[in-house]
Amino acid sequence: MTKPPLNYTTKIPAKRTLSECQELLAEAGAMAMAVAYQDRNPSGLSFRIDTPNGAQNFILPVNVDGVARLLATADYPSSVKTADLSRYVSREHAYRVGWRVLRDWLEAQLAIVAAGMVTLDEIMLPYLQIGKGETLYRALQSNQLALTAGSEQ
């Protein structure tokens, strides 16, 4: 049984949530931002912040395909009307839900930063841009970078 994603009932347009994400990042010190688009909808947000090692770029993707798959296969509560189900599994709705989830995640990460538990560049490390459109995490995942943690030097 797969639960529906957080915010699965949202009616807030993706572009409005994108704007909220940009405001959060601006307040956190982002120096520049850029938006990626797919099917004329925002599908990712990159931003630049000043770090102790100089300005760094980070990429926050919204995996619309993943959200769409989850929306299509989720076990919705019995309180969800059948008429609403067709709206929940639309591609447009996947963009709305994906962006709301990202906004909530970003807000939580920035709260941890504000509490002094971590720095912004530390918490965003997996999303550090290391190549053209590639993040540190994706490079590690595809074995383009070798992990040496735990190995003897």
Picking from 14, 68, 9, the residue whose alpha carbon sits closest to that of residue 44 is 14
The one-digit pLDDT tens for each residue of the chain (153 residues) are 788 889 999 999 999 999 999 999 999 999 999 999 998 999 999 999 999 989 999 999 999 999 999 999 998 888 888 777 888 889 999 999 999 999 999 999 999 999 999 999 999 999 999 988 889 998 888 875 565 555 554
What's the pLDDT score for residue 148?
57
In what helix (H) or strand (E) does residue 66 lie, and over which residues does it extend?
helix 64-73
If you ran DSSP here, which 8-state letter would residue 150 be given? Answer: T
What's the pLDDT score for residue 153?
47
Separation of alpha carbons 144 and 48, rounded Å: 23
What's the pLDDT score for residue 48?
97
What's the pLDDT score for residue 87?
86
Residue position matching structure tokens 């995640």? 105
pTM: 0.88
